[in-house]
Structure 1
Amino acid sequence: MEFASINFLAVLVSAIVSFALGALWYSPALFGKTWQLELGFSDEDLKGANMGKIFGSSFVLMLIMGLGMAMLIQGHFDQEITWLSGLKHGIYIGLVFVGASMGINMLYQRKSLKLWFIDAGYQIVFLGIMGAILGAWD
């Protein structure tokens, strides 16, 4: 695997799209209020958070995930890489590694299945989309 074969623009776009999906996913229009209730966060708790640090760090971590996904896709496929193969790769990674890992953590933290569906669901969906973008752009 060489970094020269990575499409860094695709990695950046996939991170931006994933970040934007998170803004929608955790908004009051979708799962934001339920997520807040499941964690026991008040509106004041959320207002007191350092959102610049949280959003900035999250975006950097999404860039790292996008780079890792690009490396995995590039190094794994012998055939042509398409949006569909990238989508499948992202969903597999999301379900088998991220979703399962989050499930283990939530069991020990005694968090609800509802919270797992919200958080793991976001990760699975954004990794699928990230994989599709990277596969399409290859």
Structure 2
Amino acid sequence: MTDFALWPVLAGAAAFFAVGALWYGVLLSKPWQRAAGLTNSQLREGNMALIFALTFLFEMLIAMVLWHLLARTDPKPFVVMMMAVGFAGGVMIPAIGINYLYLRKPLALFLIDAGHFLFGMAAMGAVFVWFRS
């Protein structure tokens, strides 16, 4: 396994992106919108192509870092999942939690966004397990 492999990284980022599409588009769009305090007109104001492109690029960066770590350590499949979910629970979610505390964001928004990171990283981990098998 090389330190960087395009297809697993793309697929891992795509899995994370798909979780986000389901999470914010189908499952929790209205609760998220309320918790974020955004109106329908505010949601329409942004450049969605740019927002989605940058989201995917950030998810690519996350995938590259995780893939690199896996390439360096060559863990068993269950450890890959522990690393992916552990990275979400031990780094990403606390980081957004700290940010939300200072921004005075509501707990509901934190829980929705934290769930997205947790399930998104689990999906990425599952894709990486599949690519490594």
TM-score past 0.5 threshold: yes
95-104 vs 29-38, greater mean Cα deviation: 29-38
Unaligned stretches of 5+ in structure 2? Answer: none
Q: Confirm or deny: 8 A CA contact 1:94 1:124 kept in the other structure.
A: yes
Q: Confirm or deny: 8 A CA contact 2:19 2:123 kept in the other structure.
A: no
Unaligned stretches of 5+ in structure 1? Answer: none
Query: What CA distance in whole angstroms lies between the structure 2 residues aligned with 1:121 and 1:40?
Result: 18
The alignment's C-alpha RMSD in Å is 1.5
Task: Compute the displacement of 1:85 (Å).
Answer: 2.1
Q: Which residue matches 1:22?
A: 20
CA deviation map 1:101-122 (0-9, x unaligned): 1111111111111111111110
Higher relative contact order by CA 8 Å / sep ≥ 6: 1 or 2? 2
Higher helix proportion (structure 1 or 2): 2
2:53 to 51, 56, 73: 56
TM-score (norm 1): 0.88
1:104 to 98, 105, 108: 98
TM-score (norm 2): 0.91
Residues 56-75 of structure 1 aligned to structure 2 (within 5 Å): 56-75=53-72
Q: Which residue matches 1:8?
A: 6
1:94 to 65, 78, 88: 88
- Identity between Structure 1 and Structure 2 (%): 29
CA deviation map 1:42-76 (0-9, x unaligned): 10111111001100000111111101010112223
